[in-house]
Amino acid sequence: MTSGNVLTLKEAKEAFKHGHNYQLQKLLGVHEMTKHNEKGFVFRVWAPKAQAVWLVGDFNQWQADLSMEKDEYGIWSIFTTLPQIGEMYKFKIKQADGREIYKIDPFAVRFEPRPHDAAYIYPTEIKKWHDGLWRGRKKRSNYFERPLNIYEVHTSSWRHHADGTPYNFTDLKDELIPYLKKMGYTHVEFMPLMEHPLPASWGYQLIGYYALSEAYGTPEEFKDFVEACHLANIGVLVDWVPGHFCVNDDALAYYDGTPTFEYNDIDQANNRGWGALNFGLDKPEVQSFLISSALYWIEEFHIDGIRVDAVSNMLYLDYDNPNWTPNEQGTNLNLAGIAFLQELNRVVKFNHPDVLMIAEESSSSTKITGLIETGALGFDYKWNMGWMNDVLNFYQMDPLYRGEHLNMLTFSFMYRLAENYILPLSHDEVVHGKKSLMHKMWGDRYKQFAQLRNLYTYLIGHPGKKLLFMGSEWGQFLEWKYYEGLEWDDLKDPLNKKMQHFTATLNELYKTERALWECDDQPETLEVIDADNQAQTVLSFIRQGKRKKDFVIVILNLSPIEYQDFQIGVPYAGEYEEILNSELSEYGGTWKQGNPNVITQSAPFKDYQDVITTTVPALGALILKPKTIKYRRKRK
């Protein structure tokens, strides 16, 4: 069933039973309807092993006097004229063992404020969108050949009001969007926006897979925010968690008293590391529930992409499960999880080929990105967790030892084409005692800023799309705290302000230089000039675009020593200009002006017969590009 199909009630239930109803929110949950010339609401909930289900709410003083009827699909339903729009409700369920418990509506679109979790009867408004130009342009473009530079945001801790209350999406529309434009980002990615009871989970322990968290505003406000982003040429990505869900007794957990949304095998169902329950991805009804949720966010809110969290947890039977049982092939692969993820990507891409599907996944034994027909999972991009770990470990190292570990920066060059990668410097790296990116850098405060500029230049120069967590753009020193706003007072410090300016300049340079994004997934995009300079600890490489003239040279000095008369090989004879120098005073460095243009000299250097000579700042980064050159490649 595709998202555009209109089914009869019987057909919708059959599709749900077989795992192919991908508009399940139109069947289950609460819906206005007219029956026997009376206007009212129909409520439906899936609880196949329940002994009885009652609808309770404001409209009947929460008494169990509205009994629901069960059909052969395990769906309980009732039509009633009692409720009014805006009233709250739940389901009271007599579970398989006779226990009676109040449960949420899994298809609610609006919940009451925490810590309570009753749902509102809340028909969402049909919005008249004005983002057609953005959506049309997106359909016509190849996103692999476009810049993708993501600013990752935790919604309720980006900024707080003076009274300590976090911004909602109306506030964010007024302040975050202009900030994204100022900083030069192409996309914003939100950590999960769906309803969750515990703020300390950052949104990764969900209960409401169809509900915007009440703390963030109304669905209408989020739609207006997305539209405003699109009008400002900014894409919107959202984290989504189909692997596991919150264990709260009044939510999805053991909904009818038996494994309902979770695996039947208790060891496979229990997610010990996160204190959660894993979705039973082998159940057709659960497949319908989850894929419908993904399409709901794409179609209802016009979001441009989904980042699927914790994909490894869905791929491997032994992931955090010491009592795992091999599959029928005798391996640790979760065949149901693989089939689900392939079907998810197949359905999303069939209905919305221009929507980005991104996997947060850390293993290397399963192909994540690429065509499903080739055995891959069908994602567009995968977070490169190996790159992130290697790079951050390197930049924390004393420069005295960096030369012999330069391969920590260059190892990712070897496997860069194994997947379509996003290079993430994400929230996970600036919390739980890991220190902020700024605080990770070696040396005193001045050297930390210099290395952070160096790191971000490497991020922008390395093949792959980009992601940076909020606050890192100006070098916030303190770790991220989910319950506080960012340390915006940092920007009163000239070094933080200049760091923010450097990040914005670098982001604009990324968008301007086609070589930095046009051929990310092609072999010719990267040419290493020198990755063996252990004595000076300087790395140099070329990024190439589609046209010969579209290339830049990146030089990274990973040592605290300035090198004058520094020489590297270049592919063409001619004149080269410096377009970025991280050590300029306007960025927080000491240089008043950058290097002058340089003319090549004929001399051998590794694979090259022409060289340029320049000065490389201590802990500095340079980006050069050709100004006037001869397009005859001169090789040894």
In a domain, 571, yes or no: yes
In a domain, 537, yes or no: yes
Examine the pLDDT at 221 and tell me if it is beyond 90.
yes
Distance CA 12, CA 545 (A): 49
pLDDT of residue 493: 97
> How far separated are the first and last CA of the chain, in Å rounded?
59
Examine the pLDDT at 635 and tell me if it is beyond 90.
no
- Decide: helix, strand or coil at residue 559: coil
Tokens 């070897």 found at: 414
pLDDT of residue 363: 86
pLDDT of residue 466: 98
pLDDT of residue 633: 52
Examine the pLDDT at 383 and tell me if it is beyond 80.
yes
Distance CA 281, CA 419 (A): 25
Examine the pLDDT at 491 and tell me if it is beyond 60.
yes
Cis geometry, peptide bond prior to residue 115 (ω within 30 degrees of 0): yes
CA 328 to chain centre: 33
Assess whether 360 carries a catalytic annotation: yes
Distance CA 551, CA 295 (A): 39
Domain that holds residue 588: 523-629
Q: What is the mean pLDDT of the chain?
A: 96
pLDDT band (50, 70, 90) for residue 41: very high
The percent of residues above 70 in pLDDT, for the chain, comes to: 98
pLDDT of residue 632: 59
pLDDT of residue 630: 83
In a domain, 544, yes or no: yes
pLDDT in tens, 511-562: 999 999 999 999 999 999 999 999 999 999 999 999 999 999 999 999 999 9
In a domain, 26, yes or no: no
Assess whether 320 carries a catalytic annotation: no
Q: Hey, how many other C-beta atoms are within 10 angstroms of the C-beta on 193?
A: 23
pLDDT band (50, 70, 90) for residue 5: low
Number of domains in the chain: 1
Examine the pLDDT at 636 and tell me if it is beyond 50.
no
pLDDT of residue 7: 85
pLDDT of residue 124: 82
Examine the pLDDT at 177 and tell me if it is beyond 60.
yes
CB 581, CB 617: distance < 8 Å: yes
pLDDT in tens, 252-294: 999 999 999 999 999 999 999 999 999 999 999 999 999 999 9
In a domain, 565, yes or no: yes
pLDDT in tens, 598-608: 999 999 999 89
pLDDT in tens, 69-86: 999 999 999 999 999 999
Q: Which residue among 214, 256, 360, 518 is the active-site one?
A: 360
Q: What is the DSSP letter of 279?
A: B
- The interaxial angle of helices 132-140 and 219-231, nearest 10 deg, is 60
pLDDT in tens, 609-621: 999 999 999 999 9
Each residue of 334-356: b (16+ CB within 10 Å) or e? bebbbebbbbbbebbbeebebbb
CB 515, CB 462: distance < 8 Å: no
In a domain, 333, yes or no: no
In a domain, 17, yes or no: no
Distance CA 116, CA 38 (A): 32
Better-scored residue on pLDDT, 139 or 288: 288
Examine the pLDDT at 3 and tell me if it is beyond 90.
no
Averaged pLDDT, 90-114: 97
- Decide: helix, strand or coil at residue 153: strand
pTM comes to: 0.96
Distance CA 173, CA 158 (A): 12
Question: Which CATH number covers residue 547?
Answer: 2.60.40.1180
Examine the pLDDT at 634 and tell me if it is beyond 50.
no
Q: Which residue among 256, 285, 309, 419 is the active-site one?
A: 309
In a domain, 387, yes or no: no
Examine the pLDDT at 588 and tell me if it is beyond 80.
yes
CB 12, CB 44: distance < 8 Å: no
